[in-house]
Amino acid sequence: MITRARVEAGGLILFLVLITVALGLVVSSFFGALLWAALAAMVFQPLFQRLLARSPGRRNIAAASTLLIITFAVVIPALVISSLVVDQAAGVYEHIRTGEINFASYFQKVHDALPNRLQGLLDRYGFDSLDRAQAQITQAISRSASLLASRALSIGANAASFLLAFGVGLYVTYFLLRDGEQIGPAIVRALPLQAAAAERLAEKFVAVVRATIKGSGVVALVQGLLGAITFWIVGLPAALLWGMLMAIAALLPAIGPAAIIWAPVATYLLATGAIWQGVLVVVSGVLLIGLADNILRPILVGKDTGIPDWLVLVTTLGGINLVGLSGIVIGPLAGALFITGWQMLTEQREEQPGRAPVAPPVDE
């Protein structure tokens, strides 16, 4: 029997769904700014708490000081580096378009410098001229450089929209820093979940966000910086651009910067007679770039987030494909919450009366 209370409860749920969708549509144009504002507030919350401890009761001053530090320590350097990378990408694209940079001839030089046995193996599989590989690689690099240049022009053409979103992000970050201690618990209490489940999901959410940004993000930036310095020392053109590509590759587990950036560069340098340059790239890649992940990640992450590497790779690539740069965080976050949610459901089912827990498999 349908009672008035059930109708009213259903009406409230329907209203909440509709108004939530409506709010999402209203703020959809600022999705990226709001997302990164929330991420910045979570990551820099400990800094805010330290500043607040020095000036108890002055939350506005502590939040403003934290925002100032974020602006000068993170935002401004990121904008400067991005502008330099875009300039180098535009230059590389122009050189490719005019024929000054010919990747086909570069790969042909590498092929000719290989040992005869390895050349014969490649020739046997139809890679004697590497025409198909040359065309695909040249096209991919040209498309990437062209995309960066076109994005730069797009940002310049939409400077007003960019500045508006940037201002909104900083403004929201300030209030999330100041009032985060009240907003976070309020959201957790409002979730239509059991208190323990909501708390566990919230803890996983914060852990994955901080691990992704503090761990993967900082390690990727360090590896990209080391790569850019190495490429600059050996005289590689557009060293900063290659360093940025290395930082992006470092975000992907099981791939990393070695397989697709510095190892091919070292191979080309060694094959074309640039011996000391090639050796330096190899030494830097193995001793500096390779070890940066093993040394920095445990310090910055602190604990395992419980996400398999293969799932991080798939969700990161899928997130980037779906929402762009924000997918670096959204992808692994979705994967972590997926695993945590199913683990909680399994635990609840095993705790039900009369249901025997499933015994783990015994190794023979």
SS3 281: helix
Shared domain for 230 and 312, answered yes or no, is yes
180 lies in some domain: yes
**Whether the Cβ atoms of residue 214 and residue 43 lie closer than 8 Å to each other:** yes
pLDDT tens, position by position, 271-288:
777 888 888 888 888 888
Confidence of residue 6 (pLDDT cuts 50, 70, 90): confident
13 lies in some domain: no
Kindly tell me if the per-residue pLDDT of 89 is higher than 70: yes
Output the pLDDT for position 184. 82
pTM greater than 0.75 (yes/no)? no
Shared domain for 176 and 201, answered yes or no, is no
Output the pLDDT for position 258. 57
Using the 3D structure, point to which of 166, 190, 214 is the last residue of a domain.
Answer: 190
Q: Any residues with CB less than 8 A from the CB of 134 and at least 6 apart, and which? A: 103, 104, 107, 108
Shared domain for 207 and 138, answered yes or no, is no
Residue 243, classified by CB atoms within 10 Å of its CB into exposed (0-12), middle (13-18) or buried (19+), is: buried
pLDDT tens, position by position, 34-77:
888 888 888 888 889 898 888 888 889 999 999 999 888 888 88
Output the pLDDT for position 113. 63
Tell me what the mean pLDDT of segment 210-216 comes to.
75
pLDDT tens, position by position, 123-153:
665 555 545 555 555 555 555 555 555 555 5
Token duo for residue 147: 């995309």
SS3 128: coil
User: Angle CA(124)–CA(127)–CA(133) in degrees, nearest 5?
Assistant: 155
Tell me what the mean pLDDT of segment 200-215 comes to.
80
Residue where the block lists tokens 């560069």: 265
**Whether the Cβ atoms of residue 140 and residue 121 lie closer than 8 Å to each other:** no
Confidence of residue 364 (pLDDT cuts 50, 70, 90): very low
The secondary structure of 34-94 as a DSSP string is HHHHHHHHHHTHHHHHHHHHHSTT-HHHHHHHHHHHHIIIIIHHHHHHHHHHHHHHHHHHH
For a pLDDT cut of 90, what percent of the chain falls above it? Answer: 2
**Whether the Cβ atoms of residue 312 and residue 327 lie closer than 8 Å to each other:** no
Higher-confidence residue of 149 and 297: namely 297
Shared domain for 43 and 182, answered yes or no, is yes
Shared domain for 209 and 224, answered yes or no, is yes
In angstroms, the Cα distances linking 344 to 81, 200, 322, 338 are 43, 9, 27, 10
Shared domain for 184 and 40, answered yes or no, is yes
Query: What is the spatial distance between Cα 7 and Cα 20, in angstroms, rounded to a whole number?
Result: 20
Q: Measuring CA to CA, which residue among 96, 98, 126 is closest to residue 111?
A: 126
12 lies in some domain: no
Kindly tell me if the per-residue pLDDT of 236 is higher than 70: yes
Shared domain for 309 and 182, answered yes or no, is no
Using the 3D structure, point to which of 161, 190, 219 is the last residue of a domain.
Answer: 190
- Dihedral, CA of residue 130, residue 132, residue 138 and residue 139, to nearest 10: 180
What is the distance, to the nearest Å, from the Cα of residue 68 to the centroid of all Cα atoms in its chain? 24
For a pLDDT cut of 70, what percent of the chain falls above it? Answer: 72
Residue type, 79: L
Output the pLDDT for position 22. 92
62 lies in some domain: yes
What average pLDDT does the structure give for the chain? 76
Tell me what the mean pLDDT of segment 231-255 comes to.
79
222 lies in some domain: yes
pLDDT tens, position by position, 170-207:
889 999 888 888 888 888 888 877 888 888 888 888 88
Number of domains in the chain: 2
245 lies in some domain: yes
Shared domain for 209 and 338, answered yes or no, is yes
**Whether the Cβ atoms of residue 236 and residue 88 lie closer than 8 Å to each other:** no
Shared domain for 244 and 184, answered yes or no, is no
**Whether the Cβ atoms of residue 152 and residue 90 lie closer than 8 Å to each other:** yes
Output the pLDDT for position 328. 79
Q: Which domain holds residue 279?
A: 193-349
Shared domain for 197 and 175, answered yes or no, is no
20 lies in some domain: no
Shared domain for 161 and 229, answered yes or no, is no
Query: What is the spatial distance between Cα 86 and Cα 33, in angstroms, rounded to a whole number?
Result: 21
Shared domain for 181 and 271, answered yes or no, is no
Q: Is the dihedral of CA 348, 352, 358, 360 positive or negative?
A: positive
3 lies in some domain: no
Using the 3D structure, point to which of 163, 190, 217 is the last residue of a domain.
Answer: 190
